Amino acid sequence: MTIPTTTTTQPPFLRTPEEYKALFDSVDTFLLDCDGVIYHGPVVVPGVKAVLQMMRDAGKKVIFVTNNATKSRAMYKKTFDKLDIPVHESEIFGSAYASAVYMRDVLNFPADKRVYVLGEKGLEDELDAKGIQRTGGTDPEDRVFLPSMDFSVYQPDPSIGAVLCGFDSGINYKKLCKAYSYLRDDPNVHFLLTNQDKTFPTHGTTFVGSGSLSAPLVFALQGKREPTVIGKPNKPMMDAIIAEHHFDPARALMVGDNLATDIAFSQTCGMRSLLVMGGVTHKEEVYGENPSPVVPTFVIESLGDLAVLQKN
């Protein structure tokens, strides 16, 4: 099988060991989405553990790339440990960590400035690890609703140099107004989103995602400020990954179950992609009468299917 370098309107659906081997041998670095590719909630995808071991035995670089901004790398490591999947913390790249790396290594965020956070402890932990001062987030003072419409709390804070929005289960009007006031009053304050996922899948359904939670700020600032989005499918995520992991994108493969994030990410960054089914994407979106304009390089039923190579 010849491995193409560009996608077609009808991407090949890999089904045979010969096709699996040709693809496997052409890749030095595997970038793997987590939920939907490695596991579905608490259940590991059949065959995936064997495939991951096969990648390591062959000397392949493995990087787990996820848009989930609620967890730090340490938190994700615990998730993998519970699933009995050997993973080194340095191999995990969530949008929380990517945001911290982007702020430190790309923006060179000043040491005397603070970032106002709409997010969870995992995001805060990654900012702390990179020495970035912060406020907001899980601070109890910002996680309570205003007892009255007291707008005197929205005073300019000269220490704020950025507003970073991720998934925040404690989102409220007070937080939004604070974030908006910092962005409204100072054009030098960076406006950053960990990701723009409209929803997140869980337990067979979907709920509101990070992108939807940041939408009030994006709408309120429309025409005045545009956010820099870190996570997939945007290039800052890759900039952050490359800042720590050096590899040739031409010899890399993005494996994911989502056309809008994983596969679009690969196209943005000039990489090939492998779409796995059984996640959020249906075959009709790829091979139907009105397919998505986002086209993967290859399609496979499951990443675990590559385990057949151990028997050949």
17 phi and psi, to 5 degrees? -55, -35
Of 229, 245, 271, the residue that ends a domain is 229
Which one of 33, 197, 262, 305 is the catalytic residue? Answer: 33
Assess if residue 79 is contained within a domain.
Answer: no
Of 176, 194, 229, the residue that ends a domain is 229
User: pLDDT category, 4, cuts 50, 70, 90?
Assistant: very low
pTM: 0.89
Give the range of the structural domain holding residue 208, as residue numbers without chain letter.
98-229
Structure tokens at 34: 């987590």
Please indicate whether residue 33 is annotated as part of the active site. Answer: yes
Q: How many domains does the chain have?
A: 2
The sign of the dihedral angle between the CA atoms of 47, 53, 58, 64 is positive
**Binding-site annotation, residues:** 33, 35, 232, 257
Of 186, 214, 229, the residue that ends a domain is 229
Percent of the chain with pLDDT over 90: 79
pLDDT value, residue 6: 43
d(CA 141, CA 162): 19
Render pLDDT for 166-184 as a digit per residue (tens, 0 to 9). Answer: 999 999 998 999 999 999 9
The sign of the dihedral angle between the CA atoms of 141, 193, 199, 204 is negative
Same-domain check for residues 220 and 241: no
CB 63 within 8 A of CB 245: yes
Assess if residue 8 is contained within a domain.
Answer: no
Structure tokens at 171: 């989102």
Render pLDDT for 95-143 as a digit per residue (tens, 0 to 9). Answer: 999 999 999 998 999 999 999 999 999 999 999 999 999 999 999 988 8
Instruction: Give the mean model confidence (pLDDT) for residues 225-248.
Output: 93
Q: What is the mean pLDDT of the chain?
A: 92
User: pLDDT category, 162, cuts 50, 70, 90?
Assistant: very high
User: pLDDT category, 279, cuts 50, 70, 90?
Assistant: confident
Same-domain check for residues 195 and 166: yes
pLDDT value, residue 111: 95
pLDDT value, residue 149: 66
Which one of 25, 28, 35, 186 is the catalytic residue? Answer: 35
Q: Residue 46 maps to which CATH number?
A: 3.40.50.1000
Beta strands of the chain (E only): which ranges?
A: 29-32, 39-40, 43-44, 61-66, 92-94, 114-118, 133-136, 160-165, 190-193, 199-202, 205-208, 228-229, 252-256, 272-276, 298-300
| Location of structure tokens 């579905």 | 40
**Binding-site annotation, residues for substrate:** 232
